[in-house]
Amino acid sequence: MSYYRRASSNQGQMSAFKIRLLIAGAIVLFSVVGYFSNTDINPITGKPQRVGGMTAQEEIVLGIQSAPEMARQFGGISHDAVARNEVSSMGNRLVQALEQLLQESNRALPYQFQFHLLEDDRTVNAFALPGGQIFITEALYRRLNHPGQLAAVLGHEIGHVLERHSAQQMATSQMFSGITSAVGVASGDVSGQRMAQMVTSFIGMKYSRSNELESDRWGVQLMSLLNYHPEHMIELMNILEEESGGGSTPDFASTHPSPANRREHINLIVGEIFKYGIPEGMQ
C-alpha cells in the first residue's frame, strides 16, 4: 500500500514501481515457463523427459542441417546405388510399419526419416541425428548377411530418434546453447565451423546404457513388424562383437553396454514382446 501512496505523490517513483512490477511479472512468467519446459512429454512414448523445451520441428531442422557434415566426416554418401536403395527402402518400410502402429492409437509420427549409406568402409557404425536423419557405414553394411540384420540396425537407430536421446543429451550438456541456436540453424544463420563442432558433438555423443537398451527394444519391435525374426538382432550383436575388437567407437560399435549384456537384455525383450513364443514363419 505504501508503494501506491508514495507513487501517487511522485511521478518518478511511480515509474520505478511500474518497472519493479514488470520485472516481478517477468520473473514469475519465466519461472512458470521454465517449470513447464523442464519436463517435456515425449509424443511417441508418452514418457516425461527433459529436452530443454526443444520441439520435434527443431529436432528435424537440426538433423537436416547437420546431415551433410555428418556424411562428409564418413567419406560422403556411398556410390553404390543398389546398396543405397536397399538401406533407404528398408528404413522406409520400418517407418511405414511404425506409422501404422501409431495410427491404431491415434498418434502421428512427428519426425521425418531419411536413411543414408555412408562410403566409409573402415568404421563399423550407425548413427542417428535428432529428428530422423539415420546413417549406416558401408563397413557395417558389408558385414550384414541377412536383411533382418539391416532392419535391426535401422530399427535401433529409429529408436534413438523416437526416444529423443540426442535432444536429451544436448539439454543436459553445454550443447544446450546449440539447441537455442536451432532457430539460427533454421534460418541458415550458423557458420560452417559451428556446424562442424555441433556434428562432432553428435558423433562423439555417448548414449547411456539405458538409452541403448531402450533403442534395442525398438529395434526388436520394429523388425518384428516386418516379420523379421528377433534372432537377427542377436546375430547383429555377434557381428559387432567380432568387429569391435576392444576398440570403442560411438553408438553401435560401442562396448558400453557390452554385446554380451545386450544379448541378455534382448532375450528378455523378446520374451516380453512374444509372450506366447515367437510365431512360426518369421523370416
Query: Nearer to Zn ion by C-beta: 90 or 161?
Result: 161
Cα–Cα distance, 102 to 222 (Å, whole number): 12
Strand 133-137 to 114-118 pairing: parallel
Stretch that binds Zn ion, among 83-91, 131-139, 211-219, 266-274 (CB under 5 A): 211-219
Residue 163 interacting with Zn ion (CB under 5 A): no
Query: Nearer to Zn ion by C-beta: 58 or 212?
Result: 212
Query: Nearer to Zn ion by C-beta: 141 or 190?
Result: 141
Q: Which three cell numbers stand for residue 234?
A: 542377436
Query: Nearer to Zn ion by C-beta: 122 or 206?
Result: 206
Residue 216 interacting with Zn ion (CB under 5 A): no
Question: What are the b/e assignments for 159-198, b being 16+ CB within 10 Å?
Answer: bbbbbbbbbbbbbeeebeebbeebeebbeeebeeeebeeb
Query: Nearer to Zn ion by C-beta: 134 or 190?
Result: 134
Q: Give the shortest CB-126-to-Zn ion separation in angstroms.
A: 8
Residue 251 interacting with Zn ion (CB under 5 A): yes
* Cα 118 from chain centre: 18
Stretch that binds Zn ion, among 38-46, 95-103, 210-218, 261-269 (CB under 5 A): 210-218
Dihedral sign of CA atoms 109, 127, 266, 169 in order: negative
Cα–Cα distance, 70 to 77 (Å, whole number): 10
Q: Which residue is nearest to Zn ion (CB)?
A: 251
- DSSP 8-state assignment for residue 279: P
Stretch that binds Zn ion, among 111-119, 141-149, 207-215, 225-233 (CB under 5 A): 207-215
Binding site residues, Zn ion, CB under 5 A: 212, 215, 251
